[in-house]
Amino acid sequence: MASRLLAPAVRTASRSVPRLHMPARNFQTSSVLRAEVVSAAPVKKPVGAFRGGLFGFLLGATTAGAGMYYYVIDEYRVSNELLTEDIYALQSAVQRIESYVKTLEEKVDSKRK
């Protein structure tokens, strides 16, 4: 009940209080905004898409070619070593067969005599 009685008084009191905190709107420009605009650093000439693409292609092709070259050289070295080992194995097999044939020929000659 007390709030009903005091509500009209509070309304009138809030209307009569002057608004002291309302800032006045002043339209001014500061000295910083009126100063001349300083030009930016000179703009670098951008690398064109054609030149950049061509450079990237050449760099990639050279890198891939160098990698392929070393891969092929390594494979050639490995296959050359395997071939050399096979040749030595074949040579030793031929020498063993030759010694077996010589011993057989000697045995055949000795039996004929």
pLDDT in tens, 22-68: 566 666 666 655 656 667 777 776 667 777 888 999 999 999 999 99
Would you say residue 16 lies in a domain? no
pTM of the model: 0.45
In a domain, 80, yes or no: yes
Residues 62, 72: Cα–Cα separation, whole Å = 15
Question: Predicted confidence band at 74 (pLDDT cuts at 50, 70, 90)?
Answer: very high
Average pLDDT over residues 92-97: 97
Residue 36 corresponds to which amino acid?
E
- The distance from CA 42 to its chain's CA centroid, rounded to whole angstroms, is 31
Answer whether residue 13 is part of any domain.
no
> Average per-residue pLDDT in the chain?
80
pLDDT of residue 104: 95
What pLDDT is recorded for position 46? 66
In a domain, 11, yes or no: no
pLDDT at 51: 75
Q: 101 lies in which domain range?
A: 68-113
CA angle 36, 39, 41 (to 5 degrees): 155
Asked, for residue 46, whether it belongs to a domain, the answer is: no
Residue 101 lies in a domain: yes
Domain membership of residue 45 (yes or no) is: no
| pLDDT at residue number 34 | 60
Position 10 in a domain = no
What's the pLDDT at 92? 97
Total tally of structural domains belonging to the chain: 1
